[in-house]
C-alpha cells in the first residue's frame, strides 16, 4: 500500500524570518507560521528574507530556507569567514572566533541543564591559538575531478570530496605532500576507489605530524603494484616523512583503515612529546589531534585528581597511557584500563620508554566491573576519557560503588553522552564541581568537555 502524500503549503518568496537558534550543523532555525525553517549559515538573532522550500520529508513541518537578503545581520557574523579555505566544512565558520567559543559554551550549558544541573557550573571554553596549526592528524579522501586525482575532506553529511589545496589548521606539508602524491598517481593512471561499485585502488591518505616526526599511511583496496609503492616511497622521501605505511582495506563499508597494515619504508613509529613525556605513535595509535589544547585538558584533569602518595589512581579508557603517566608522580600506583588490546600494548611500551614503574596497564571492559585485584585498593582519583558514546549506565553504576573520598575527572566527546551519564552519576553519589570545554577543533561544533566531580557520602 503506497504512503499517502500530504499536500504542503507553498510560500511566496520572500518570507521574513528571525533566527532563534543555531544547530550543530551551522543551520539557523526560525519559525514561520506552522513550520520550522532551517537556513544554512544564518546566525542567532538575524532577520532575513528567505525562500522557503518543500518539507524535508512527507508531512514534516521542517523545511529548508535559502537566504535572499539580510534585513539585520548579527554582530557575531564574520563576513570573511575567518579566512577559512572552505567555510562549508566548518559549522561555526561564519562566526567570529569569540562568538564560536560562546556558542560552544552555550551548547555545554544546554547539555548540563538536560542533566538537571546548574549552568553556573560551566566555565568559559579554553580557546585554541588559531594563528598556528592545531590539527596534527588528517585523513584525506581521494576522488577524481576532470580526469585527475584530487584529495580532500568529505562535504558535511555526505561522501562528496571537497578538494583541499591548503588547510589553515594543519601543517603545510600535509597538503603539499597529498597534492604531489595525487599528481604522481594520476600520471601512473591509478584508479580511485568507488564506494558504489567497490572498484578502484586508492581510498584515502592518513597523515600525522608529532612535531618530532612525520608519518603517512596510504589506504588502498588491494595490494599495490611495485610501481605505485616506489612512487609513494619516493614522494614521501621528498617530504622528509619518517614512517611510511600502506594499509589494505577491502571492506565495502566506510571504515577508513582496514585490518592489514604494513611498513613500506622508514621507522616503525614516530615519537610525540606531550606533558613532559614521550609517546610512540604508529598508524593505528589514538592520540588527540590538537596537542597544545590536549595538554591543557590533561593538565586540568590531572590537577583535579590531586596528589596522594599512599593512594591509587585509575585511568579508565586509558588509550596509550598519556594521562596514566601524567598521574604517576602524584600517586603510589596508577592503573590504566582499556578494552582495546593494541592500545594496552602501546601503553606498556610508553611506560618503559619513560622509565615509569608505578603504572600498570590491563585490558578490561569497565561495563562488567573493575578487575578484582582493584577491589581492595585505596582508590582516591579516577580519570575517564572514553570514546564518543561515553561509558554508559552500567559503567557509571560501577563507579558509583566506589567509596568517598574520591575525585573523578570525566572527559566527554559528546554532549549527549554528558547529559546521560551525569544524570546517573549525580543520582548515585557524585557531585559536579566544575565543567569546562576545550576547543580542539576551531569553528567546528565539536567541543571536548571535562567534568570535575567528587564522590560524596550519602
How would you classify the pairing of strands 406-412 and 379-384? parallel
Q: Is residue 288 marked as binding?
A: yes
Give residue 189's region: left, alpha or beta (phi > 0; psi -120 to 50): left
Helices (H) and strands (E) in the chain, counts: 8, 22
Number of other residues whose CB lies within 10 A of the CB of residue 398 = 16
Q: Going along 296-429, which residue ranges are E strands?
A: 308-316, 331-338, 359-363, 379-384, 406-412
User: Annotated catalytic residue: which of 182, 317, 384, 413?
Assistant: 413
458 burial (CB, 10 Å; 0-12 / 13-18 / 19+) is: exposed
Q: Is residue 338 marked as binding?
A: yes
Query: Residue 131 and residue 39: Cα distance in Å, rounded?
Result: 30
Which of 434, 420, 353, 361 minimizes the C-alpha distance to 388? 420
Residue 413: active-site member? yes
CB 298 within 8 A of CB 326: yes
Query: Residue 174 and residue 205: Cα distance in Å, rounded?
Result: 10
Helix (H) or strand (E) holding 37: strand 35-40
Query: Residue 95 and residue 91: Cα distance in Å, rounded?
Result: 9
Q: Is residue 385 marked as binding?
A: yes
3-state SS, residue 408: strand
How many Cα neighbours within 13 Å face the side chain of 320?
21
Query: Residue 71 and residue 49: Cα distance in Å, rounded?
Result: 7
Active site residues: 413
Q: Which residues line the annotated binding site? A: 288, 338, 385
Q: Which residues line the annotated binding site for S-adenosyl-L-methionine? A: 288, 338, 385
Amino acid at each position: 500500500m503506497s504512503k499517502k502524500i500530504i499536500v504542503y503549503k507553498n510560500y511566496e518568496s520572500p518570507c521574513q524570518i528571525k533566527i532563534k537558534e543555531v544547530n550543530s550543523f551551522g543551520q539557523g532555525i526560525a519559525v514561520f507560521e506552522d513550520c520550522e525553517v532551517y537556513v544554512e549559515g544564518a546566525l542567532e538573532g538575524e532577520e532575513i528574507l528567505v525562500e522557503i522550500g518543500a518539507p524535508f520529508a512527507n508531512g514534516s513541518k521542517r523545511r529548508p530556507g535559502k537566504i535572499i537578503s539580510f534585513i539585520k545581520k548579527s554582530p557575531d557574523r564574520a563576513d570573511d569567514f575567518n579566512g577559512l579555505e572552505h567555510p562549508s566544512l566548518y559549522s561555526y565558520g561564519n562566526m567570529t572566533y569569540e562568538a564560536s567559543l560562546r556558542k560552544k559554551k552555550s551548547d555545554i550549558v544546554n547539555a548540563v541543564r538536560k542533566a538537571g544541573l546548574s549552568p553556573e557550573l560551566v566555565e568559559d571554553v579554553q580557546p585554541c591559538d588559531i594563528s598556528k596549526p592545531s590539527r596534527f592528524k588528517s585523513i584525506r579522501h581521494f576522488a577524481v575531478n576532470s580526469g585527475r586525482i584530487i584529495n580532500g575532506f568529505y562535504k558535511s553529511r555526505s561522501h562528496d570530496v571537497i578538494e583541499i589545496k591548503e588547510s589553515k589548521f594543519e601543517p603545510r606539508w600535509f597538503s603539499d605532500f597529498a597534492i604531489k602524491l595525487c599528481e604522481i598517481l594520476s600520471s601512473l593512471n591509478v584508479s580511485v576507489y568507488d564506494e558504489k561499485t567497490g572498484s578502484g585502488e586508492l581510498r584515502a591518505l592518513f597523515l600525522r605530524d608529532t612535531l618530532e616526526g612525520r608519518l603517512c599511511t596510504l589506504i588502498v583496496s588491494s595490494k599495490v603494484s611495485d610501481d605505485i609503492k616506489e612512487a609513494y616511497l619516493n614522494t614521501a622521501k621528498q617530504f622528509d616523512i619518517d614512517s611510511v605505511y600502506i594499509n589494505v582495506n577491502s571492506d565495502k563499508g566506510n571504515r577508513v583503515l582496514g585490518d592489514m597494515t604494513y611498513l613500506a619504508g622508514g621507522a616503525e613509529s614516530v615519537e610525540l612529546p606531550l606533558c613532559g613525556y614521550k609517546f610512540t605513535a604508529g598508524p593505528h595509535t589514538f592520540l588527540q589531534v590538537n596537542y597544545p589544547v590536549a595538554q591543557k585538558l590533561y593538565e586540568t584533569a590531572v590537577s583535579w585528581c590531586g596528589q596522594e602518595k599512599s593512594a591509587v589512581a585509575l585511568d579508565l579508557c586509558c588509550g596509550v597511557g598519556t594521562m596514566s603517566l601524567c598521574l604517576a608522580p602524584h600517586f603510589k600506583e596508577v592503573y590504566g584500563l582499556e578494552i582495546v588490546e593494541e592500545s594496552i600494548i602501546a601503553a606498556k611500551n610508553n611506560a618503559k620508554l619513560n622509565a615509569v614503574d608505578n603504572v600498570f596497564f590491563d585490558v578490561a571492559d569497565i561495563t562488567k566491573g573493575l578487575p578484582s585485584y582493584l577491589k581492595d585498593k585505596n582508590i582516591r582519583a579516577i580519570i575517564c576519557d572514553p570514546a564518543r558514546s561515553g561509558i554508559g549506565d552500567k559503567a557509571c553504576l560501577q563507579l558509583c560503588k566506589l567509596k568517598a573520598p574520591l575525585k573523578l575527572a570525566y572527559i566527554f566527546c559528546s554532549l549527549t553522552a554528558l547529559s546521560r551519564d551525569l544524570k546517573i552519576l549525580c543520582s548515585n553519589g557524585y557531585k559536579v564541581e566544575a565543567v569546562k570545554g576545550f576547543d580542539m577543533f576551531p569553528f567546528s561544533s565539536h567541543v571536548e568537555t571535562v567534568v570535575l566531580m567528587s564522590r560524596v557520602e550519602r
